Structures are given as structure tokens and as C-alpha cells.
């Protein structure tokens, strides 16, 4: 028997609002025909404690001089992500040619890498990024209140280190669970240029003045961050912000996130308006090449225990990049 | 001068120049062959590891590396990397090796502790000579221009391309390839004094 929905009366207003909200939330996914978008498989891997300082230090990473000269990681490491991740995640004490102990606290069940299918697309109003991956068997005993989270950080090229290593330059040796972390000092992701003094032990709390940081923001020297926090059976929680001197998260997100488990795979779409504007948002326009890195916190992990990608690039409509977001 | 020796300096009465010359030539071949054969007896793994300083330290480290054992069984031993193949450089090296004999007799590195105390100095000697000779002994077997890039990993391909472009020699990057990597320890100490590079990125 059909249930008759009353469209008059006080409850009708609430129903209308609920319907509109559901429509608004579901609109972004419905807007893009993902089957027609060419995706690329990106392998994310466990980076352990291979921080930016380590990458730039020859005794930890023998090609540090090449990195300092601007060689992109993938020129040497393309196709090696799963091997690197497996070695690091296993707690191998002699990782790499420099024989570094990159992971002193391996998470049980972590295979070390996660293949992710990534697609970019846009319409008149928004940029959409679709990520699909199978979670690993690992289940960490950390305090995260989400089962899984996926994030991306990107620059319009102003942060030149992103052309070399994606978001790696925000990862530092004095952050929590890293070798030079100081007791009682909880640093979040930051860029070296936000500090007055940096060394192989990181940039610590040597912050530049507010004026100098604002000047960096004004010339787009920051990483924009989009993130979806996921729990099975619940709507994805969108989080966004930027990284310069630390991770600044917006009280109410400009990014929207949809995520669901489909046949054992997480499928997540992150999107935001192209002309969002405001602090911490990069203008998304055709003709510009953006540098991006992806990360997944899999199996209740937190902090540095994510799987990460090397640096990739994207453009809108056309141009030379790993991902070209075509207009639909 | 005794009689028989005095006679050696007098012209022969009985034998022709050809006979004496031929005998001399034949004896010369025996001597030269014998000399080189004896020299080559000092040019193998068994001879080098006859000294416990080598056997108990660097030889045990070599055993863990690809130069000792690998898929094809093509291997390098002590003399392949540490003794030049061209005859004149080989002879010079063998004469210099009398210094090693001296230190063996003096017990300069005859315990693990003494060996470790001198290890960096020994490593630096070898690196210096390899750098000066454009890694001559590596090039006995390896030719960077005959490396097939399609058979290399992207990492090896990239690094060797950089080596060709920057005119590097094998030992510039491949320190520690056959024995314990003291380069890393020395590099860590150097880095404690040096600023971090790549801050302009």
C-alpha cells in the first residue's frame, strides 16, 4: 500500500528542508559521470619516519643532493612504491641504500601500500576528486574516531618543493612520533619557510612573525588541505584547511565529501567550488598546473601512520599533467 | 775472484752464440713465467684471507654482498678490486704491499679493536686511489656506457644518467659496496656540522 505523504501542515516544511539538503549533498556526485573519466592508479605507501629532513640528508637518503637540486621523487622511485612500503612497514632496520631504520613501530597487518584509483573532473562550479581503494587488513590501536580518512594537499606551484615531492615538505622530524619530537611540543604539519631557523632537527617553534606569515599567504605560499573522515554506514565528514606554519582547519568546511563502501572498496568524492576565495583557498583555474599529494589514514591510524603518495600534478581542461580534470 | 766466477766473464771457447743465446732465452722464459706465476699466487682470495686481519674482518663483510654471491655466480674477489690488472700498476702495487706485510708482522690491526680503530683510514686510502684511477678496477668488469637502461630499475637508470652527465666515477656513489659502510658513519658526523641543503625548494 502506498504511504501518502502529507505535503501540507508543519511537518511538510521539515520534509522539504530535509529533501533539499539530501539533494544538495547528493548533487555533487550526481553531477559527474565518473565512468567517462579516465583515472590513474596511484600507489600510496607507508613512509615510516622518512621525513623531509631525512630526504634531504645523504646519510639517510643517499640521493639527497639530487632532491635539493629539484629532482622529482618519481624519477627514481616510479613503480617502487609497493616495495618501499613493504620494506618500511615490516620494520626493516636497514631500509634503503643508507640503511635507515625507517619504522620503529610497525602496525600489525599493514602490507605497506594501498593502490588507489584517482579521478579528477570539474563542471561549471566545482572541482571533484574521486578516490577509490580497498582498505588493508591493518587495525591500529590509536585514538582516532574514524575508521578511515583520505586527504589531499596541493599547491599552485608556489611551494616549489611540491614539484619535487608533493606534500612531503610538510612532514618534519620534530613532529609527534618522529625521532626529534620534543616532549610537550605538539607540532602539526608545517613548511620550512614558516620558520626563522631550520636545521636537520626541524624548524621547531621558531615561527616567523604574523606579518611575514601573512605575506607568504598573500603570495599563495601554503598547501590547501581537503579531507574526508569515514566510518562505515555513516556520512563522510568533510574537513578542510591549509598548512603553512601549522595545520589550520576551517570551522565549517568549504569542501564537501561523500564516501561509501562499495563492494569492499571505499569510494570517496571530495569537491569544492572553483572560485571559493578566502584565506587558504587557491583559485582553481584552467591553464595552471597544480601539485598534489594524497594520503590515507587506514584502519584507525593517526598522525604519521598514514599511507602517502609521491607528488603528482593536475590541471583543468588541458595541459601537461598527471591528471587533467575535464569539464562535464 | 774465485775461478768459476771469473770464467763467466770470459768469452766461450766451445759454444756458439746461438747455443748460449738460445739457452739464455729459454731460461729467461722459465724465469719470467716463474716470476709471474709466483706473483699470481699472491693474487687470489686464499692468499689474501690467509691473514686473519682480512679473513675475520673485511672478508666476512664481503660474504654478505652481491659481489660475493649472486644469481649468475660471476663474482669479484680481493684482487679483482684491489690489485690493478695492467702489469706495471700491478707490480707497483705489489711493491707497496710490502707495507702491508710490515704491518702484519707489527700487529698494527691484528685485533678487532685495532682494525676498527684504523678502518676509516684504510677505507679512505682505497677510496682515494679509486678516485685517482677513475675506479679502474670497477671498470675491469663494469662499463657504464654498456649498461642497458631498459634492464635497470628507474632508480639505477636515473643515477647512472646523472653520473654520466656529472662526470662521476663509480666510487663517488658506490662506497661501502663490498665491505661495511663506514661512509655512512663519516657522513653522519659531517652532517652534524653542515647546514641542511634544499631549503630553497
Q: How many domains does chain B have?
A: 1
The answer to whether residue B88 scores a pLDDT higher than 70 is yes
**pLDDT, tens digit, 9 for 90 and up, residues B161-183:** 999 999 999 999 999 899 998 99
Give residue B120's pLDDT: 96
Question: Considering only CA atoms, which of A18, A264, A283 is closest in space to residue A148?
Answer: A264
Residue B104 belongs to some domain of the structure: yes
Provide mean pLDDT across the span A55-64: 91
What pLDDT is attached to residue A189?
97
pLDDT over 60 at A30, yes or no: no
pLDDT at residue number A144:
82
Residue B31: inside a domain, yes or no? no
Assess if residue B46 is contained within a domain: no
The reported pLDDT for the residue numbered A62 is 87
Which chain A residues contact residue B196 at CB under 8 A? 53, 56-57, 198-200
pLDDT tens profile B10-20: 888 889 999 99
Mean pLDDT of B115-119: 96
pTM: 0.84
Residues 142-161 of A with CB under 8 A from B: 160-161
ipTM score above 0.95: no
Give the pLDDT of residue B92: 96
**Radius of gyration of chain B from its Cα atoms, rounded to whole angstroms:** 24
CB of B178 within 8 A of CB of B186? no
pLDDT of residue A10: 60
User: Cell 589531499 maps to which residue?
Assistant: A152
Averaged confidence pLDDT in chain A: 90
Axis crossing angle, helix B112-132 with helix B182-193, rounded to the nearest 10: 80
Q: Which residues contact B169 (CB under 8 A, 6 or more apart)?
A: B130, B131, B134, B135
Higher pLDDT, residue A62 or A220: A220
Q: Does residue B199 lie in a domain region?
A: no
Residue B64 in contact with partner chain A when CB distance is under 8 A:
no
Residues B25, B52: Cα–Cα separation, whole Å? 41
Least confident stretch, A16-20, A87-91, B185-189:
A16-20
Report, as an integer, the average pLDDT of A36-65: 94
Sign of CA dihedral A259, A260, A261, A265: negative
User: What is the rounded distance in angstroms from the CA atom of residue B52 to the CA atom of residue B164?
Assistant: 39
- For residue B182, the chain A residues in CB contact (below 8 A) are none
Q: Which of B186, B198, B199, B200 to mutate to test the interface with A (most CBs of A within 10 A)?
A: B198
Smallest CA-to-CA distance from A209 within A201, A199, A217, A220 is with A217
Q: Give the pLDDT score at B80.
A: 96
Question: pLDDT tier at A4 (50, 70, 90 boundaries)?
Answer: very low
Sorted by where each starts, the structural domains of chain A and their CATH numbers stand as 35-327 (2.60.40.1190)
Our CA-based measurement puts residue A63 at a distance from the nearest CA of chain B, in whole angstroms, of 8
For chain A, percent of residues with pLDDT exceeding 90 = 82
Task: List chain A residues with CB under 8 Å of B188.
Answer: 59
What residues of chain B lie within 8 A of the CB of A53, using their CB? 196
Which residues lie across from A261 on neighbouring strands? Answer: A266
Range of B124's domain? 54-67+74-136
Interface contact flag, B197 A56, Cβ < 8 Å? yes
Tell me if chain A has a CB within 8 Å of the CB of B3: no
Amino acid at each position: 500500500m502506498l504511504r501518502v505523504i502529507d505535503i501540507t501542515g508543519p511537518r511538510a516544511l521539515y520534509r522539504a528542508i530535509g529533501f533539499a539538503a539530501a539533494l544538495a549533498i547528493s548533487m555533487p556526485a550526481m553531477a559527474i559521470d565518473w565512468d567517462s573519466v579516465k583515472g590513474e592508479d596511484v600507489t600510496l605507501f607507508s613512509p615510516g619516519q622518512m621525513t623531509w629532513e631525512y630526504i634531504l640528508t645523504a646519510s639517510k637518503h643517499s640521493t639527497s643532493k639530487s632532491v635539493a637540486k629539484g629532482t622529482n621523487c618519481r624519477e627514481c622511485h616510479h613503480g617502487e612504491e609497493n616495495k618501499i612500503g613493504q620494506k618500511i612497514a615490516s620494520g626493516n632496520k636497514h631500509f634503503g641504500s643508507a640503511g635507515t631504520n625507517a619504522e620503529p613501530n610497525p602496525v600489525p597487518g599493514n602490507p605497506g601500500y594501498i593502490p588507489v584509483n584517482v579521478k579528477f573532473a570539474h563542471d561549471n562550479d566545482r572541482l571533484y576528486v574521486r578516490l577509490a581503494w580497498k582498505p588493508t587488513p591493518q587495525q591500529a590501536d590509536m585514538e582516532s574516531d574514524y575508521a578511515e580518512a583520505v586527504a589531499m594537499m596541493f599547491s599552485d606551484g608556489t611551494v616549489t618543493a611540491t614539484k619535487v615531492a608533493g606534500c612531503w615538505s610538510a612532514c618534519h622530524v620534530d613532529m609527534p612520533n618522529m625521532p626529534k619530537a620534543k616532549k610537550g611540543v605538539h607540532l602539526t604539519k608545517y613548511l620550512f619557510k614558516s620558520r626563522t631557523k631550520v636545521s636537520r632537527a626541524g624548524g621547531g617553534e621558531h615561527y616567523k612573525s604574523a606579518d611575514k606569515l601573512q605575506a607568504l599567504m598573500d603570495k599563495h605560499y601554503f598547501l590547501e588541505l581537503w579531507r574526508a573522515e569515514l566510518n562505515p554506514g555513516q556520512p563522510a565528514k568533510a574537513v578542510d584547511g591549509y598548512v603553512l606554519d601549522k595545520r589550520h582547519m576551517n570551522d565549517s568546511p568549504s569542501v564537501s565529501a561523500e564516501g561509501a563502501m562499495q563492494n569492499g572498496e571505499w569510494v570517496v568524492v571530495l569537491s569544492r567550488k572553483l572560485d571559493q576565495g578566502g584565506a587558504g583557498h587557491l583559485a582553481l583555474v584552467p591553464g595552471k598546473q597544480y601539485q598534489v599529494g594524497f594520503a590515507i589514514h587506514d584502519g584507525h591510524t593517526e598522525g604519521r601512520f598514514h599511507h602517502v603518495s609521491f607528488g603528482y600534478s593536475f590541471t583543468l581542461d588541458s595541459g601537461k599533467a598527471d591528471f587533467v580534470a575535464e569539464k562535464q | 775472484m774465485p775461478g768459476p766466477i771469473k770464467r763467466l766473464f770470459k768469452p766461450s771457447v766451445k759454444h756458439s752464440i746461438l747455443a748460449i743465446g738460445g739457452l739464455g732465452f729459454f731460461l729467461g722464459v722459465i724465469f719470467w713465467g716463474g716470476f709471474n706465476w709466483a706473483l699470481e699466487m699472491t693474487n687470489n682470495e686464499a692468499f689474501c684471507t690467509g691473514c686473519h686481519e682480512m679473513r675475520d674482518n673485511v672478508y666476512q663483510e664481503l660474504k654478505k654482498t652481491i659481489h660475493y654471491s649472486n644469481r649468475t655466480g660471476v663474482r669479484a674477489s680481493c684482487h679483482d678490486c684491489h690489485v690493478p690488472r695492467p702489469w706495471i700498476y700491478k707490480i707497483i702495487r705489489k711493491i707497496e704491499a710490502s707495507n702491508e706485510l710490515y704491518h702484519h708482522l707489527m700487529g698494527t690491526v691484528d685485533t678487532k679493536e685495532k682494525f676498527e680503530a684504523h678502518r676509516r683510514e684504510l677505507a679512505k686510502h682505497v677510496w682515494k686511489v679509486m678516485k685517482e684511477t677513475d675506479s679502474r678496477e670497477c671498470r675491469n668488469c663494469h662499463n657504464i656506457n654498456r649498461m642497458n637502461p631498459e634492464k635497470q630499475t628507474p632508480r639505477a637508470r636515473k643515477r647512472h644518467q646523472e653520473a654520466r652527465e656529472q662526470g662521476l666515477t663509480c666510487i663517488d656513489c658506490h662506497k661501502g659496496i663490498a665491505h661495511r659502510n663506514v661512509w655512512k658513519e663519516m657522513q653522519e658526523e659531517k652532517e652534524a656540522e653542515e647546514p641542511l641543503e634544499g631549503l630553497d625548494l
